[in-house]
Structure 1
Amino acid sequence: MLPLAALLLCLALLCAWGLARRRGPMGTGTGRLRSLPALPLVGSLLQLAGHPQLHLRLWRLQGRYGSLYGLWMGSHYVVVVNSYQHAREVLLKKGKAFAGRPRTVTTDLLSRGGKDIAFASYSPLWKFQRKLVHAALSMFGEGSLALEKIICQEAASLCETLSAAQDAALDMAPELTRAVTNVVCSLCFNSSYRRGDPEFEAMLEYSQGIVDTVAKESLVDIFPWLQIFPNKDLALLKKCLKVRDELLQQKFTEHKEAFCGDSVRDLMDALLQVRLSAENNSPPAPGLELTDDHLLMTVGDIFGAGVETTTTVLKWTVLYLLHYPEVQRKIQEEMDQKIGLARHPHLSDRPLLPYLEATISEVLRIRPVSPLLIPHVSLTDTRPLPGRAGPAHPLALAQLPALRGRDPRVPGRSPGQDGAVPLPGLGAAEVHARVPPGPAPALAGGQVRRRAAGAEVSGEGQAAGGLEGGLVTGTPRIPCDGGVG
């Protein structure tokens, strides 16, 4: 009887503690931040269960809780940002306060405990590492010129492959992936791959495994103690990371052995050179030492982010252009008129090709690479917004469309059951593009304004043969017959 009473008392205290923690401080503002109902231990997870597309569930919940609301993922308090105004407040005006990154099981494995840039929290070491990476990128190839040369070479090779298979069925997905991978490999390692290369195939396999398992709101990230139990996703991630680490270590060892300060062949050489120069100028302060792991994880960041994101955008672009041939024709006419047939387009031609810019931006608008940004965590005892009280040190989870001021479902359209809508064709759109400074080859969605000439944009109500707009988390499958998968 006594053990049962003790157990009931513990449960009652646990419930009281959980409710008190979820109530949070009231603050001095106009009201508390509205939050989803929460239970001890599991938090608000029951409200999210049964919804595989988390971003759409979070978006729909704002109809009840507002565009800024809170929820509990286990013991972690999360502020969900669904509007541009709130995203600007949390991520820009309070950028330094929310410059941290949450520590999770999968991201710690990926970054060797936060030794990269993407998943490391804001700190003096992170600032120093980022500064050296910027210096290395500036040193290698005089800015964007070397990168543009690499891209042009791979684009020409891709065109040759497509021309050779012009009269036959061709699955473009692996060709696009190989071209993008070669660009990033040339930038990082000064190497490239051909079809069927075993190292290239291993790289594709581990990259896909990492994308499928890291930061996917898995339970092991919410409840780290679950990693003591068998977990297929965690086992797959560890297997893929082992392959990645062996490849990166091999490349790094080769570069260290052949390193010569007089010649910088690629980004890895540039990182070694910048670290050596920094050490020679002045010994690093305590806590600011950059180890080999920091350099390896930095290259891993560039490789992982560059390949997956660019390949995804290219796949969606090709898929949409297959279903909107009128857009293809307008792009071709613009290039023929402004550039001609004597040469390939260059980065400096961007101001001459506003319709092409708008097309890229439209794809990025409708099919973002990821609907949710990497979570930010508050480094100070701050509140999400002035006048909104809530628990201290929250995580901020922002919807990417919120930064572009749009709904995942295009306004004015009737979304399907999953919140998706057909892609509006660009048609006779009059494009006004503002080309920002910098070497980036594509504009963000918010930097292009599209205005219909006369009435609506042509193709506004056309369904694209099952091709859905809105938001997705994966990449399209492009079958060899050109259909939609």
Structure 2
Amino acid sequence: MDTFIILGICLSFLILISLWNQNHDKGKLPPGPIPLPIVGNILQLNIKNIPKSLNMLAKEYGPVFTVYFGMRPYVVLHGYNTLKEALIDQGEEFSERGRFSIMDEAASEFGIVFSNGHRWRQTRSFFLMVLRNMGVGKKTIENQIEEEVLCLVEALKKTNGSPCDPTFLLACVPCNVIFFVLFQKRFDYSDKKLQFLINSSHENSRIVSSSWIQENDNKKSEFTMEHLITTVMDIFAAGTETISTTIRYGLLLLMKYPEISAKIQEEIDHVIGRQRRPCMQDRSRMPYMDAVVHEIQRYIDVVPFPIPRVTTQDVQFRGWHIPKGTKILISLTSVLHDKKEFPNPDKFDPGHFLDDTGNFRKSDYFMPFSVGKRSCVGEGLAHMEMFLILTTILQHFTLKPQFDPKDIDITPVENGLLSLPPSYELCFIPV
């Protein structure tokens, strides 16, 4: 037994020396907690609430610090000014995409999420062109969203006010919108294919447009079949899961705070009425609804930490030398829950986005889609969907919870890579 203990101590010592040598060779990384052999700082973090753990470390080590997930160092960027300096002012140096070790199995160099360099730039430009051509930000895609939301309303009416879990139905709208953008088609909600795709949204999607198949023979083109399939999968996952999760969490919050729902419905009655369907032009005349949509996204912080960035070259940042290839972990929580910008940030309060006269107040700290070169390409589409879906639901239904509002638990079930709402049922009561 003594021999094993001695061997263990020696192994730990060698690992620590190795870690020190890595940092010494690459240049001194920003400070942080001392990592343990093999596991790094994992035991010093609350894996179920990584944002809270890193907030505590930021208080001790400052807005730029280093943590180890296993033997891999990650430089953490914390706070609005830090993110702005890195992702906007020095955006090119922090523009490549890294991976968490838990993602290495599924990730590849293809798609819009994990690709880098020329391939990523071509893919991003191509998808932005597709969105523009499909009318994102214009009436073309807005009309499609409106039609899809009306299908959702009809499906909700069929529940006859009975308790239901809205997870699947809420995912149908953004899913069909993405399919319309990519393939000019939609699925009926009873379609087994749609159900399979939504229930398997984290699996590889094998649906791709045949009009791009010539590209595989062009060796200089980035639009190979494998790359396009991965891109479609990325867009489907990002365009469906985050939107449906945000809306599902939003309905839970509105049940928790019925006075906010009532105030929204008053604004809907005043601006839209009960007969005309909502449109994006209404948003400028509905500051309270606009504030609620923004506050839902700020409060739930659905992606506390985007997929890590990687430095494209050696970077001098705030007095620290960050070597090329260093993984960068970005804390969006530190911005969305900034106490100076959003008083009582842990409270759900639409007033965070309203001025003293009740007009909508923009905030540079609102960055649920990240910022800089790697910000979400579908942000504009997401804003349209969330406003139209939530407004239309509240135009047609009153949300009735299964419990007294004060007993509704709005604590996320996970708070690591994603913040997910707890499962719940509610009744959609026609108004």
Opposite residue 16 of structure 1, the aligned amino acid is I
Shift of 1:46: 3.0
Distance 1:380 1:177 in 2: 40
Which residue does the alignment assign to 1:57?
53
Which residue does the alignment assign to 2:19?
18
Residue in structure 2 matching 1:465, options 383, 401, 407: 407
Distance 2:179 2:338 in 1: 35
User: Does residue 116 of the first structure (1) align with residue 111 of the second (2)?
Assistant: yes
Which residue does the alignment assign to 1:69?
65
The farther-off stretch of 9-18 and 140-149 is 9-18
Indicate conservation of the 8 Å contact 2:136/2:380, yes or no: no
Distance 1:140 1:406 in 2: 36
Structural mapping, 1:132-143, within 5 Å: 132-141=126-135
Partner SS for 1:477: coil
Partner SS for 2:302: coil
Structure 1 residues 335, 76: closer, same or farther in 2, change over 3 A?
Answer: same
The farther-off stretch of 60-69 and 78-87 is 60-69
Which residue does the alignment assign to 2:395?
none
Structure 1 residues 356, 424: closer, same or farther in 2, change over 3 A?
Answer: closer
Indicate conservation of the 8 Å contact 1:125/1:287, yes or no: no
Indicate conservation of the 8 Å contact 1:321/1:327, yes or no: yes
Indicate conservation of the 8 Å contact 1:128/1:288, yes or no: no
Which residue does the alignment assign to 1:236?
none
Partner SS for 1:432: coil
Indicate conservation of the 8 Å contact 1:173/1:478, yes or no: no
Opposite residue 424 of structure 2, the aligned amino acid is I
Distance 1:301 1:369 in 2: 17
Indicate conservation of the 8 Å contact 1:347/1:441, yes or no: no
Which residue does the alignment assign to 2:147?
153
Partner SS for 1:304: helix
Partner SS for 2:47: coil
Which residue does the alignment assign to 1:235?
none
Structural mapping, 1:252-331, within 5 Å: 252=208, 255-256=209-210, 259=211, 272=212, 287-331=220-264
User: Does residue 47 of the first structure (1) align with residue 48 of the second (2)?
Assistant: no
Distance 2:125 2:164 in 1: 43
Which residue does the alignment assign to 1:192?
186
Which residue does the alignment assign to 1:433?
360
Structure 1 residues 161, 12: closer, same or farther in 2, change over 3 A?
Answer: closer
CA offsets 1:346-367 (integer angstroms, 9 cap, x no match): 1122211111100001111110
CA offsets 1:448-472 (integer angstroms, 9 cap, x no match): xxxxxxxxxxxxxxx8434346894
What TM-score comes out, normalization by structure 2 length?
Answer: 0.76
Distance 2:291 2:80 in 1: 21
What TM-score comes out, normalization by structure 1 length?
Answer: 0.69
Opposite residue 303 of structure 1, the aligned amino acid is F
Shift of 1:80: 1.2
Which residue does the alignment assign to 1:229?
none
The farther-off stretch of 471-480 and 329-338 is 471-480
CA offsets 1:142-171 (integer angstroms, 9 cap, x no match): 763322111111111222233343443333
Opposite residue 42 of structure 2, the aligned amino acid is L
Distance 2:56 2:299 in 1: 18
Which residue does the alignment assign to 1:228?
none
Opposite residue 42 of structure 1, the aligned amino acid is V
Which residue does the alignment assign to 2:338?
406
Shift of 1:292: 1.4
Structural mapping, 1:319-398, within 5 Å: 319-383=252-316, 385-389=317-321, 392-398=324-330
Shift of 1:479: 1.4
CA offsets 1:240-275 (integer angstroms, 9 cap, x no match): 43xx33xx2xxx3xx42xx5xxxxxxxxxxxx49x9
Shift of 1:378: 0.5
From the CA coordinates, give the structure whose radius of gyration is larger.
1
Which residue does the alignment assign to 1:79?
75
Shift of 1:73: 2.2
Indicate conservation of the 8 Å contact 2:135/2:141, yes or no: yes
Shift of 1:410: 7.1
Shift of 1:206: 1.5
Structure 1 residues 151, 18: closer, same or farther in 2, change over 3 A?
Answer: same
Residue in structure 2 matching 1:126, options 120, 128, 139: 120
Structure 1 residues 330, 20: closer, same or farther in 2, change over 3 A?
Answer: same
Gaps of 5+ in 1: 211-239, 260-271, 414-420, 444-462
Partner SS for 1:91: helix
Shift of 1:108: 5.4
Distance 2:411 2:48 in 1: 17
Partner SS for 2:200: helix
Which residue does the alignment assign to 1:449?
none
Distance 1:52 1:6 in 2: 33
User: Does residue 476 of the first structure (1) align with residue 409 of the second (2)?
Assistant: no
Partner SS for 2:40: coil
CA offsets 1:98-145 (integer angstroms, 9 cap, x no match): 11112566645545x221112212x12221222222222222347633
Structure 1 residues 341, 375: closer, same or farther in 2, change over 3 A?
Answer: same
Partner SS for 2:76: strand
Which residue does the alignment assign to 1:417?
none
* Total equivalences in the alignment: 384
Structure 1 residues 440, 134: closer, same or farther in 2, change over 3 A?
Answer: closer
Indicate conservation of the 8 Å contact 1:324/1:425, yes or no: no
Structure 1 residues 343, 441: closer, same or farther in 2, change over 3 A?
Answer: farther
The farther-off stretch of 165-174 and 83-92 is 165-174
The farther-off stretch of 321-330 and 345-354 is 321-330
Distance 1:97 1:441 in 2: 27
How big is the alpha-carbon RMSD for the aligned residues of Structure 1 and Structure 2?
3.7
Shift of 1:431: 3.2
Indicate conservation of the 8 Å contact 2:253/2:410, yes or no: no
CA offsets 1:302-330 (integer angstroms, 9 cap, x no match): 21101001101111111111222222222
Structural mapping, 1:150-189, within 5 Å: 150-189=144-183
Structural mapping, 1:226-265, within 5 Å: 240-241=203-204, 244-245=205-206, 248=207, 252=208, 255-256=209-210, 259=211
Distance 1:83 1:8 in 2: 38
Gaps of 5+ in 2: 364-378, 385-404
